[in-house]
C-alpha cells in the first residue's frame, strides 16, 4: 500500500476551528504513506501554516468559503496542494523573517511562510488573486532526495 500512488481530498470551511481536523487528517495520511513521526508533524505544521494564511489573508475569516486540500502520496513523497479563490497575497515577495526587528515592532505575524519553507522540501506558489491561488508543498520520504 505504501508504494502505490494514492490521492485524497479535503474541502473544509475556512475557519480556524478546523485547523485541528486538518492536522489530524494530514498526519494520518502521512503515517499511512510511511513517514516517520517527526516528518508527519513537520508536514502537518506546514499545512496548518498554509491554511492559516488562507483563512486570515485570502478569505479574511469568511466561514462560508472552503479551503481545498488535495494530497497525493507515492513511494517517494507526499505532495499537498492547497487552493483558494480569495484575495491572497504574493508569497514570493515575502522576505525571511528578522525576529529581532519583529520584536521591536511588536509584530504578531510574518513567520508562517518561512516555517513552511523550512519544514518542506519543495514549495511552489501560483498567485492569481480572486481567481485561484495555489501553494504546493512536497516532502520526500527519508532516503529519497529531492531531484
Are the beta carbons of 92 and 27 closer than 8 angstroms? no
Interface ranges with another protein (CB under 8 A): 16-17, 19-20, 23, 41, 45, 48-49, 52, 55-56, 97, 99-100, 102-104, 106-112, 114-115, 118-119
Report in angstroms how near the CB of residue 97 gets to another protein at its nearest.
7
Report in angstroms how near the CB of residue 62 gets to another protein at its nearest.
15
Are the beta carbons of 140 and 76 closer than 8 angstroms? yes
Going by C-alpha positions, the residue among 45, 43, 137, 125 that lies closest to residue 89 is 125
Report in angstroms how near the CB of residue 13 gets to another protein at its nearest.
13
Nearer residue to another protein within complex by CB, 6 or 97: 97
Cell 513523497 sits at which residue?
77
How many angstroms separate the Cα of 11 from the Cα of each of 60, 61, 72, 84? 17, 16, 15, 10
Phi-psi region of 38 (alpha: psi -120 to 50; beta: other; left: phi over 0): alpha
Nearer residue to another protein within complex by CB, 33 or 119: 119
Nearer residue to another protein within complex by CB, 27 or 66: 27
Nearer residue to another protein within complex by CB, 37 or 131: 37
Amino acid at each position: 500500500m505504501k508504494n502505490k500512488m494514492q490521492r485524497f481530498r479535503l474541502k473544509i470551511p475556512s475557519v480556524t476551528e478546523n485547523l485541528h481536523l486538518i492536522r489530524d487528517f494530514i498526519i494520518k495520511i502521512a503515517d499511512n504513506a510511511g513517514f516517520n513521526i517527526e516528518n508527519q508533524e513537520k508536514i502537518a505544521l506546514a499545512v496548518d501554516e498554509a491554511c492559516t494564511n488562507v483563512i486570515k489573508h485570502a478569505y479574511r475569516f469568511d466561514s462560508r468559503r472552503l479551503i481545498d486540500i488535495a494530497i497525493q502520496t507515492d513511494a517517494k513523497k507526499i505532495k499537498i496542494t492547497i487552493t483558494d479563490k480569495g484575495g491572497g497575497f504574493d508569497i514570493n515577495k515575502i522576505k525571511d523573517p528578522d525576529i529581532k526587528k519583529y520584536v521591536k515592532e511588536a509584530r504578531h505575524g510574518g513567520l508562517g511562510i518561512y516555517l513552511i519553507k523550512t519544514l518542506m522540501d519543495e514549495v511552489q506558489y501560483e498567485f492569481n488573486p480572486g481567481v485561484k491561488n495555489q501553494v504546493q508543498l512536497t516532502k520526500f520520504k527519508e532516503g529519497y532526495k529531492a531531484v
